[in-house]
Structures are given as C-alpha cells and as structure tokens.
Amino acid sequence: MASEFPLYYDVIFRILGYHRDDYGQLFQWSLVNKEFNRTASNMLYYRVVLSPPVSRLHQLNLRDTGAVTSPSNLPSATLPQYAELVVELEVSGFLNPRPPPRNTLHTVLRDALRKFTNIRSVKFVPATFHEDVFVDSLKLLPNLHTSLRELTLSSSCTSDEEKVSLLTGIKGLCKLALHSPGRAILQHLPEWLENNSSTLDELHLLDNCGSVTPGVLKSFLPHVSESLKSFTLGLSYSITDEDIFTFLSQLPNLEHLRLRNYWQMRSPTHKPGLRQLKSFTADHRGPLTTCKEVATFCAWVRRIVAASPIQVLRIVAKGEELSDDADDMNEFTNAPPDYVQNSYPAFDSLIEHLTKKHATTLRHLQIGSAFVSLVSLQNLLERCLVLETLQVSAGNTALECFSQLVPVAPRLHTASFEIRNIKPRSLKLEEEDVLKTLHHGSVSLRRLAVNGRRWETH
C-alpha cells in the first residue's frame, strides 16, 4: 500500500480541488477518513483569512475584547497540527478600532505569526483598525526571512516612523505591495528596496499614490532597474506620462505592468520601449464618452505596448472588478426594464493596432468597458489566431457575427459580450442558438456570456 499512496493522495487532491474555495464543503470532506482529512486540511489552512464585516458594535460594545468572532479559520489554524500548513495570512475588513489592552487582537495576531513557521505571504489591509494593532506582528516579520516572500500592507502599517523602521529590516521579499503609500514609507522605501534588491522582482504601489513623485521613482532605480519584472502604480497627479515612461524605459526586464491613466494636455515625447512586456492592465476613471477621450486613451495604450510581445491586455474602468475570467464581468444586475446601456465611441484604433502588431502573441483581451465595431471584431477574430479569451462591448448584431467567425479562432475558449445601445430585457437570446455556437463553433470554445447570462459546455 505504501507504494500506491502517492497516487491515492493525488486522486483525492484533484477531487477536492473542485471545492478549494468552499471551506464548508472541505470541512465535510475532512471527516471522511484520515487521508481525506490530510488533503482537506492542506487546502483549508493554506490560506488563513480574518476579514470581519462592518459592525456598529465595535464602537458601542465596551465588553468587546477584539476576539475573533467573524467566520474565520484563524483560531483553528493556530493549533499545532495545522499551524505548519499555513502559507498565506490575510487580515482585512473592519477590525475593532478600540485600543489595547481591552482589544486583544494584536496579541492574537502576534501569537499566530509565531506559530506559522512556513508562512510565505502576509497581507495586512484592514478598512478600520487601531493604529497599534499590527506593531507586535511587524516586529516578528524580520525573523521570518527564511519563508516570507510576499508582503502587502496598507496605511495601517506604514503611517508613522516607528512602524516604518520595523519594515525596513524585512529581507528576502520577492513581492512588495503598498496601498496608498504616504511620505513616511516612501522616504525609507529606497533603503528597503536596497535590502531586498537580490530577491525582489515585484513592486506594486496601489490606490492613492499622490505622494509618489518623479524623484521618488528615480530613487528606486538603483535597486530595481535590472531585477523588476512586475510593477503597478496607482493614481498620482504628481507624475506625468513623460515621467512614468522615462522610469519604465529603465526597466528592461519588465514583464507585467499596471498603470492608472488620467487625461493630460501634453503627450509624452517618446515610448517606453518595453521589449519584454507580456501583460498590461490600464485603469481609467470611468466611461470615456467622447471621441477625443477614446482616441487619447487608445494612443496612450498603444505607446506602452508598441514594442512589446504583449499576451494579455486588460482595460478596467473605475468601479469594475478585475477578473481572470472573461465571463465574470459586466453583468446587468438589478437593471430597470427601461435601462439602456449607452453606446460609447469605438476603440477601433486600438484593435487595429493589436491586429497589425500583436496578432501572433495576443492571447487574452479583457476590455469589457471598451466598445468595438463589428468590422474590428471580425478583424480581431480572423487575425489573432492564438486568442484564448475575449471580453468586449459591441453592437446588437455582435452575436450573429461571432457565431459566423468563431470557427476561425482555433484557441478561443471563453468569450464575453456586453451588448450596447439596447434594453437588457429586449435582447432575445435563444438557448438553442447559443448552444449551437458552443457546440459547433470553435473546437475549443467552452464558455460564452452575454449581458450577464452565462453558458458553459464541457
């Protein structure tokens, strides 16, 4: 039996993989027998999350000691038989803002980190918190250098000199993400980057980045110019396109990029020349309603990817959720019967660029908020033969066009459409026609979504 166990474990692992995110179901599987318990426990405690929902009682209940009462696997994860299984720890949501000693959450987190000897990723990003809740935990992080590789922090950990001084001693990081970084952390960030220069290949500055200036970006370069492969920059009116393009041009090994676009009067004088860039995500403020706005935005995207073997391109409007699955976006939820989705100017100049310059490399196009004409949709499907996922907005005849052209897209397995300039309830979708497209279209097509309705075949 000993020689057969690896296969037995692998079979169980594949079965339970379908329920990886369903903790209740995994718990039920863990009760089957010892081997199911072992496999389910690995999944249950791989990622530990504490994310309390919003509650008014935090400020009103004087007896609340900050104990972990929300649905969380944190308490049981600290048990000896499970602590070594924990790889990721996330603390988010609405933590009790009461100070210690009445609020004991800081000791709970500190004691948990001491037991999580194999921790690889730590994320401290609560919406509400007491300013000292993570101080004890931050003191422990430098001691986890043998296992800790990814760190994500919000202002709860970066707002003052005391906390920042603890952070700069953390070494061995491969990924560092900072939400709304302020001056306190940015002043010491070059030192921190220097301490991790031999390992760090991902740097993400997220959300409000108003304190990030051209000088701040320049101070990063001596420590990340050769090693950085993934970079994110949120919204900063202190930085122009010229500034960010100059910075990016000095990152020759960059493969993944995410930037927040805002309208500027002056266009940059040069392109960043990112010859290794494989994935680009462009964030913008919301619906681009004029031809000038669309043309300017498309030109900005084209400049960034012009020299790149781009494989993944995403455009995310403010308020949208970024998803890896093209059919998980752009749903008409609770839309009134007379609601009409506007038909904005087409992003055809961007599609034309992609079909001419990146047809042999483009695999995933997730631009659900971008309207595409039927001619551009046709060119896209006919020329981008390695395209695997597609998400766009189009006119009310897009489905008919797609049904005719999908056979020429041999690798397309997921497609999602938002039909514009039509009332959601007036869109007639015949189940038989959709299934016919799925079964008799491309041999690889498996998922199709239209205005939130989804179909899937196997």
Which CATH number do you get for residue 283? 3.80.10
- 265 and 291 in contact (C-beta within 8 Å)? no
The answer to whether position 286 is within a domain reads: yes
The Cα 368–Cα 362 span in angstroms is: 16
Spell out a b/e string for 37-59, using b for 16 or more CB atoms within 10 Å of the CB, else e. Answer: bebbbbbbbebbbbbbeebeebe
Pairing between strand 175-179 and 150-153? parallel
Contacts of 179 (CB under 8 A, 6+ apart): 125, 152, 153, 154, 155, 206, 207
Residue 61: phi and psi, rounded to 5, are -90, 100
Pairing between strand 453-456 and 447-450? antiparallel
**Residue 439: predicted pLDDT:** 75
- 200 and 178 in contact (C-beta within 8 Å)? no
For 300-363, what is the HEC assignment?
Answer: HHHHHHCCCCCCEEEEEECCCCCCCCHHHCCCCCCCCCCCCCCCCCECHHHHHHHHHHCCCCCC
186 exposure class (CB count in 10 Å sphere: 0-12, 13-18, 19+): buried
User: How far is Cα of residue 299 from the mean position of the Cα atoms in its chain?
Assistant: 24
The answer to whether position 334 is within a domain reads: yes
**Residue 195: predicted pLDDT:** 96
The Cα 56–Cα 447 span in angstroms is: 42
The Cα 201–Cα 203 span in angstroms is: 7
Looking at the chain, the number of H-run helices and the number of E-run strands are 17, 15
Strand-pairing partners, residue 361, are none
The answer to whether position 63 is within a domain reads: no
The answer to whether position 320 is within a domain reads: yes
The Cα 26–Cα 28 span in angstroms is: 5
Strand-pairing partners, residue 202, are 175, 230
- 189 and 217 in contact (C-beta within 8 Å)? no
Q: Quick count: other Cβ atoms within 10 Å of Cβ 275?
A: 11
The answer to whether position 60 is within a domain reads: no
**Residue 244: predicted pLDDT:** 97
**Residue 246: predicted pLDDT:** 97
Return the amino acid letter for 299.
A
**Residue 62: predicted pLDDT:** 61
Return the amino acid letter for 82.
Y
Distances (CA, A) of 52 to 27, 127, 180: 21, 10, 21
**Tokens 């959601």 sit on residue:** 424
Pairing between strand 47-50 and 88-94? parallel
**Host domain of residue 411:** 278-458
The answer to whether position 373 is within a domain reads: yes
What are 105's two structure tokens?
């959450």
The Cα 243–Cα 89 span in angstroms is: 35
The Cα 414–Cα 390 span in angstroms is: 6
Contacts of 204 (CB under 8 A, 6+ apart): 152, 175, 176, 177, 178, 230, 231, 232, 258
**Residue 427: predicted pLDDT:** 67
**Residue 6: predicted pLDDT:** 52
Half-sphere exposure at residue 77, Cβ-oriented, CA atoms within 13 angstroms: 31
pTM: 0.90
Q: In terms of Cα–Cα distance, which of 326, 327, 379, 329 is closest to 350?
A: 379
The answer to whether position 421 is within a domain reads: yes
The answer to whether position 329 is within a domain reads: yes
The count of domains in the chain is 1
Q: In terms of Cα–Cα distance, which of 74, 165, 88 is closest to 123?
A: 88
The DSSP line for 361-378 is T--EEEEEEEE--HHHHH
Spell out a b/e string for 412-443, using b for 16 or more CB atoms within 10 Å of the CB, else e. Answer: bbbbbbbbbeeebeeeeeeeeebeebbeebbe
pLDDT, tens digit only, all 458 positions of the chain = 444 445 577 787 887 887 777 777 887 878 787 888 888 888 889 999 999 888 765 555 566 666 676 678 899 999 999 999 999 999 999 988 888 878 889 999 999 999 999 999 999 999 999 999 999 999 999 999 999 999 999 999 999 999 999 999 999 999 999 999 999 999 999 999 999 999 999 999 999 999 999 999 999 999 999 999 999 999 999 999 999 999 999 999 999 999 999 999 888 888 999 999 999 999 998 888 899 999 999 999 999 999 999 999 999 988 776 654 444 444 433 444 444 466 679 999 999 999 999 999 999 999 998 999 999 999 999 999 999 999 999 988 888 888 888 888 889 999 999 888 776 666 666 777 777 777 776 778 899 998 888 888 87
The Cα 196–Cα 171 span in angstroms is: 5
Specify the 3-state DSSP secondary structure of 47. Answer: strand
